[in-house]
Chains A and B, each alone.
Chain A
Amino acid sequence: MSSMAKGTVSARAETRGMLGRDISADDERRYRAESRLLRTRGQQVMALVIAVAAIGAPFAFAADVDLPYNFPWSSWLNTINQALVALIAAAAFNLLLGYTHQVSVAHAAILMLGACTGGYLGAVHGWPFPIVLVAAFVAGVLLGVVVGTPALRLTGLYLMIATLGLHFIALFLYRKFLVAQFGFAPMVLPAPQIPGWLAPLFGGDFGESMRVRGDDVWYWILLPLAVVSMLVMVNVLRSREGRAFRAVGERDVSAALIGINVTLTKLRAFALSSGFVAFAGALGSYYIGARGEDSFPFTLVLNYAIMIIVGGLGSMRGAVFGVFFFYSVRDILGWALKSLPGLNSVGLLQRYPAELNLALFGVLIIVVLILRPDGLDGIYLALKRWLTGQWQRWRGRTS
C-alpha cells in the first residue's frame, strides 16, 4: 500500500534479474500489478468518492445554504481554488523536501520566476494562457538546472544556506523586473481566454469565446491542472527515478553504492520540483490577477513548510491533507473569531486574527515534528488501520 513496499518488491524483482534468472513474464506482471496507481478495491472506491465530491463541489457551494452563526458556505469555493493552486507548489516542495530530503528555501524565488514568466509573456506580450503555463514550467526547470548544478554538490545544510541567498537575489531581480515592465503599478495579468469550441464546458455558449472570471469557472480550470500535476508527480515517484529520489533522501552514501548517480538524481528532483513550482507561480498569478512587489515574502516559504510538515512529509496524500488543512483552518479560525459569541468580544483575538493563525501553525509544526513526524497522513493511516481492524473483528464475530 505504501510506496515503500512497492520499492522493496520491485527491488527484489530487479535483484533476481541481476542474479542471473531472467525476469519472467510472471514477475513482470506481478511487478506491474503491485506498482499500479490504484491497487486495491478500497483505493478504487476512494478515488471514485473523491472524484464525485470534486465534481459535485461547485454545484453544492452554489446552493443557497444558511448555516448557524454565518458559517461561510459559498466562499469555500474561493478557498478551495486557492488550495488547488497551492497544492501544486506544495506537492512539488514535498517531492524535494519530503522525498529527496533536500532543504531548499528558494521556493518563493521560483514562484517569483513563474509569476514573472506569466507577467512578461502573458501580460506584456499577450501570449495565450496554456502556452504561458508551459513556458513557466520550462523556465522553472531551467532555473532548477542552472542553480542546482553548483548548489546540489553541497550537502543539505549548505544547500539550504545557498538557496536562502538565492531568495534574496531573486527578490531583488523581481523588483527590478516589476519596475522595468510595469513601473510602480502592480503587475496585472489578463483573464485567460477560453476558445469558443470549449466554452460550453465552462458554462458559456458554443462558438463564443469567453474570459475566465469568477471562482466557479476558475475551479474547472484549476481542478484539472492540479489533478494532472499531482498525477505526474505521483507517477514519477512510483518509477525508478522516484525510488532513486527516496534512496538519496534516506542515505546518499548507500544510494551511491547501489549505483545511483546522487548528484544527477538530486538535480532531477530539484529541476522537476522547480518546474512545478514555477508553473504554480504563473497559475496563481493568473488566478489572483495582480502581483505586487510584496507578493512573495519569505513567509511564503514558511507557509509551504507548514503545509507539508503538518500534512506529512514524504507523502503526496499528506501534501493534499496539509494544503486543505492550512486553508480551512485559516478560514474557520477567521470565522470563529468574528462570529462566535464569547470569542468575538476578546479584543486581542479580534485585532490579530492572522497572527493568531500563524502562531497556531508555528506551535503545530513543532508538535508535529516532535510527536508525530508523519503528520496528518500518519493520523489518517492510523485511523484507517484501526477502522479496518474493527471491521474485521466485527465480521469475524458475525460469520
Chain B
Amino acid sequence: MQYLLETTVNGVTLGAIYALIALGFVVVFKATSILNFAHGSFLVLGSYLAVTLLSTLGLPFLLAIVLIPLVMGGLGIAIHYSVMRWMVGKAFFAVVLTTVGMEIIIHAALLMGYGPSDRGRLTGLPDGRIRLGPLEITIVNAIIIGTAALTVLGFLWFFKRTRTGLHMRAMADNLEAAAAQGISPNWMYALAWCTGLGMAGIGGVLYAHYTPSIHLDLTAVGLRAFPAAVLGGLDSVGGAVVGGLVLGLIETIGSAYFGAEYRDVLAFGTMFVMLLLRPTGFFGSKELVRV
C-alpha cells in the first residue's frame, strides 16, 4: 500500500512534467495546426540549458526557471519568423517534415555543444522529504509538481482571461474572422511558438531534476507530448493537462509492476489503443479524423 502510494506520487510528478510538455505541444498545434515533431528535442534543449545554467554557471534554480523559458520563447518567435511562416498553408506532411528538419539540427547542435556523454541528474534543489498525513514526498518532487501547476495555472489565466489570450483563441477558432478584426495572425503564431517552447523549456528544467541521467535520447520523453495530447484530445488545452497526468500515472505504476523496459511501450501502446478506439481523446473536438 505504501509502495503504491509512493509510486502514485512519482507518477503524478512525472505526469506534471508530461502535462507541461503536452500543453506546449497542444498550444502550437491549436494555433498553427502544425504537428511539432521537434518538440522532443526542445525539451532536451531545455534540459541541457539547465545543465549549463545550474550546474556549470551555478545560478539559483529560481533564476534558471525564469531565464530558460524566456530564452526558449525567444527561440520560438525566431523559429516562426525565420522558418515556419513560410510553411503556412503548405501541405500537412511538408510542414511536419520541416519540424523534422529542425529536430535534426537541434540534435546535431546539442551533440556538438555538449558531446555524446551523459550528464548526471541536477541536484541543486534541497534534499529531504515532507510529510503530508500518510503521504511522504521528496522536496524535489514537490517543487516539480508545484512549478508545473503554477505554470499551467499561469497559462490558463493568460489564455482565458487576458486580451492576448482571447486573440489567440479567436485565431484558433476562425482565422479569417479574427484577422478581419485586426488581429495579426503572424504575431499570434509567433506567440504560440513562444509559449509552446517556453513550456517545453520549463519541462526540460524540471525533467533534468527528475531523470537519473540527461542524454540525447530524452527526445523520446519529449515525444511523450504525443501520447499525452492524444489521450486528452489533440486540440484541447485542458485535455493536455489531464492526458499528461494520466500518462504519467499509467507509465509509472505500470513500469513499477512490469519493469522499467516497458515504459516506452506502455506510453505509446496506450496512445495506439486510444487512437484506434477514440481518436478524439477524452476532450478533443470531433473534427474529421476518419476517412
A355: Cβ under 8 A from any B Cβ? yes
A155 is contacted by which of B86, B94, B226, B288 (Cβ under 8 Å)?
A: B288
Closest-by-CB residue of A relative to B288 is A155
Within 8 A of B (CB), among A164-201: 164-169, 171-172, 175
Instruction: Please state if B98 and A169 are interface contacts (CB–CB under 8 Å).
Output: no
- Docked pose: A305 CA to B287 CA in angstroms: 28
Segment with Cβ contacts to A, from B59-67, B129-137, B150-158, B262-270: B262-270
Min Cβ gap B171→A in Å is: 19
Instruction: Please state if B289 and A158 are interface contacts (CB–CB under 8 Å).
Output: yes
B14: Cβ under 8 A from any A Cβ? no
Residues A355 and B111 in contact in the complex (CB < 8 Å), given A156-B93, A157-B92: yes
- Docked pose: A150 CA to B275 CA in angstroms: 9
Residues A366 and B272 in contact in the complex (CB < 8 Å), given A101-B91, A158-B289: no
Q: Binary interface profile of B, 101-122, with partner A (CB < 8 Å = 1, else 0)?
A: 1111101110110000000000
A280: Cβ under 8 A from any B Cβ? no
A224: Cβ under 8 A from any B Cβ? no
Closest-by-CB residue of A relative to B110 is A355
Place the interface of chain B in its size category. 35 or more
Instruction: Please state if A168 and B268 are interface contacts (CB–CB under 8 Å).
Output: yes
Instruction: Please state if B92 and A168 are interface contacts (CB–CB under 8 Å).
Output: no
Min Cβ gap A143→B in Å is: 14
B183: Cβ under 8 A from any A Cβ? no
Q: Interface SS of chain B: helix, strand, loop or mixed?
A: helix
B272 is contacted by which of A156, A162, A359, A373 (Cβ under 8 Å)?
A: A162
Instruction: Please state if A359 and B104 are interface contacts (CB–CB under 8 Å).
Output: yes
Instruction: Please state if A362 and B108 are interface contacts (CB–CB under 8 Å).
Output: yes
- Docked pose: A158 CA to B29 CA in angstroms: 13
Instruction: Please state if B104 and A306 are interface contacts (CB–CB under 8 Å).
Output: yes
Instruction: Please state if B104 and A302 are interface contacts (CB–CB under 8 Å).
Output: yes
Instruction: Please state if A166 and B92 are interface contacts (CB–CB under 8 Å).
Output: no
A363: Cβ under 8 A from any B Cβ? yes
Within 8 A of B (CB), among A198-246: none
B291 is contacted by which of A262, A309, A348, A363 (Cβ under 8 Å)?
A: A262
Place the interface of chain A in its size category. 35 or more
Within 8 A of B (CB), among A343-383: 348, 351-352, 355-356, 358-359, 361-366, 369-370, 373
Min Cβ gap A63→B in Å is: 36
Min Cβ gap A144→B in Å is: 16
Instruction: Please state if B96 and A103 are interface contacts (CB–CB under 8 Å).
Output: yes
Min Cβ gap B226→A in Å is: 5
Residues of B within 8 A of A355 (CB): 108, 111-112
Residues of B within 8 A of A313 (CB): 94
- Docked pose: A369 CA to B34 CA in angstroms: 15
Instruction: Please state if B276 and A150 are interface contacts (CB–CB under 8 Å).
Output: yes
Q: Binary interface profile of B, 265-283, with partner A (CB < 8 Å = 1, else 0)?
A: 1011101100110010000
A124: Cβ under 8 A from any B Cβ? no
Instruction: Please state if A369 and B94 are interface contacts (CB–CB under 8 Å).
Output: yes
Residues of A within 8 A of B219 (CB): 298
Residues of B within 8 A of A370 (CB): 83, 86-87, 98
B237: Cβ under 8 A from any A Cβ? no
Residues of A within 8 A of B262 (CB): 172
Closest-by-CB residue of B relative to A357 is B108
Q: Binary interface profile of A, 296-312, with partner B (CB < 8 Å = 1, else 0)?
A: 00110010011001000
Closest 4 pairs between A and B when the two form their complex, measured CB to CB: A362-B104, A365-B101, A359-B108, A362-B105
- Known: A154-B275, A365-B100, A366-B105; 11 extra A-B contacts, CB below 8 A, are A155-B288, A158-B279, A165-B268, A168-B269, A169-B265, A266-B291, A306-B104, A362-B101, A363-B101, A366-B101, A370-B86
A residues at B contact (CB < 8 Å): 97, 101, 103, 150-158, 160-162, 164-169, 171-172, 175, 252, 262-263, 266, 298-299, 302, 305-306, 309, 313, 348, 351-352, 355-356, 358-359, 361-366, 369-370, 373
